[in-house]
A = this chain, B = another copy of it.
Amino acid sequence: MIRCPAKAGRRKAVAAVWRCGGGSVIDTCKAANLYATYPADLLDYVNAPIGKGRPIPGPLKPHIACPTTCGTGSECTGITIFDLLAQHVKTGIASKRLRPSLALIDPATTYTLPRNVVAASGFDVLSHALESYTAKPYTRRAASPTPSLRPMSQGANPWSDVGCEAALKLAGQYLQRAVNDASDTEARDRMMYAATLAGIAFGNSGVHLPHGMAYSVAGLIRDYRTAGYPQDEPMVPHGMSVIVNAPSVFRFTASACPQRHIHGAHCLGAEVKGATDEDAAEILAGQLIKMMRATGIPNGIGGVGYGEADVEALTRGAWAQQRLLNNAPRETLQDDLRHLYRGGMSYW
């Protein structure tokens, strides 16, 4: 249900927007609210270099977001992401002005979701939290002297850490239950709350490589379809396109902040007693793989239809996401991305 579709947003009489739906619907309405309030060409506010990156001039109309999936956390963030079909790229607009005025979060909207929707959106939550927790520390992010040019994504910081740890503990305890048993309303309630906590965290810290690599995993899909989603065209759900990269990524980033990787795995339920820095990569990757297998996630990037022949195209797509690559705890070159896609082709 969309109460403020993009076209309606163009009418000047709009006084407020109310949106009810998953992340795509919420993101659409953020943009509708923006262009209704401060009319402009589509690309004016879009992130540079694809758009002009013009700052949003002032507050938008009041808007109330009602998420219906336990995933994106879009109700807490100032980010809207969309496919720019004309240029075959995924891009977005980022500004604290886009953050909804109010979120009404009712987990009962998730009780009838198919299991794969819960799995995909649940792993989106999990990865928001894990990426924000392992992001480049805020003390190492370059800060522009011009406040309007400073990125909303500040890197890992004490405030985002609080949300990340709480969301990871909930995901570790409830994700598998929420996917595998639709009648387990306690588990679905907790995953909805985890989505909000992770949204608060990543809207502040920012995500990095698993999300950056997901853009091309989703965008270049050939014939993969997911049960529980519309079957009319090939599609890999967002959270699935993220998590298939994650074990490969965390094996690469573990050396940058091993204790954070170990603690992340611990929050998810892994046994970490006696673990040393050298164990960080395998402990976290192993825990993720275990959870992916237990919830029917495809076996890596190969599991959604990619192979060695796709590595170049996947890498080109990810390389365009410099905003996200720059938030990773390690410098990531094009060759690293090739290595990460190859490492993520199959996990078991």
Which residue in chain B gives the minimum CB-CB distance to A193? B158
In the assembled complex, the CB of A318 is this many whole angstroms from the nearest CB of chain B, namely 33
Residue A163 CB within 8 A of the other chain: yes
* Most-contacted residue by chain B among A163, A165, A166 (CB, 10 A): A166
Considering only residues 216-270 of chain A, those with a C-beta below 8 Å from chain B are: none
Residues of B near A158 (CB, < 8 A) are 193
Task: Name A residues whose Cβ lies closer than 8 Å to a Cβ of B.
Answer: 158, 162-163, 165-166, 193, 197
Complex Cα distance A158/B200, Å?
A: 14
Residues of B near A197 (CB, < 8 A) are 162
Complex Cα distance A162/B11, Å?
A: 41
Residues of B near A162 (CB, < 8 A) are 162-163, 166, 197
Interface SS of A by simple majority: helix
- A sample of 6 inter-chain contacts (CB < 8 A) reads A158-B193, A162-B162, A162-B163, A162-B166, A162-B197, A165-B166
Residues of B near A165 (CB, < 8 A) are 166
In the assembled complex, the CB of A279 is this many whole angstroms from the nearest CB of chain B, namely 24
Complex Cα distance A163/B197, Å?
A: 12
Which residue in chain B gives the minimum CB-CB distance to A197? B162
Complex Cα distance A162/B169, Å?
A: 11
Which residue in chain B gives the minimum CB-CB distance to A161? B166
Residues of B near A193 (CB, < 8 A) are 158
Which residue in chain B gives the minimum CB-CB distance to A166? B162
Complex Cα distance A163/B166, Å?
A: 10
Complex Cα distance A158/B195, Å?
A: 13
6 pairs of A and B residues whose beta carbons are closest in the complex: A162-B166, A158-B193, A162-B162, A162-B197, A162-B163, A165-B166
Complex Cα distance A158/B190, Å?
A: 10
Residues of B near A166 (CB, < 8 A) are 162, 165
Which residue in chain B gives the minimum CB-CB distance to A190? B158
Complex Cα distance A322/B209, Å?
A: 52
In the assembled complex, the CB of A195 is this many whole angstroms from the nearest CB of chain B, namely 13
Complex Cα distance A162/B196, Å?
A: 12
Which residue in chain B gives the minimum CB-CB distance to A189? B158
Complex Cα distance A214/B189, Å?
A: 38
Residues of B near A163 (CB, < 8 A) are 162
In the assembled complex, the CB of A60 is this many whole angstroms from the nearest CB of chain B, namely 17
Complex Cα distance A127/B231, Å?
A: 55
Complex Cα distance A163/B162, Å?
A: 8
In the assembled complex, the CB of A82 is this many whole angstroms from the nearest CB of chain B, namely 30
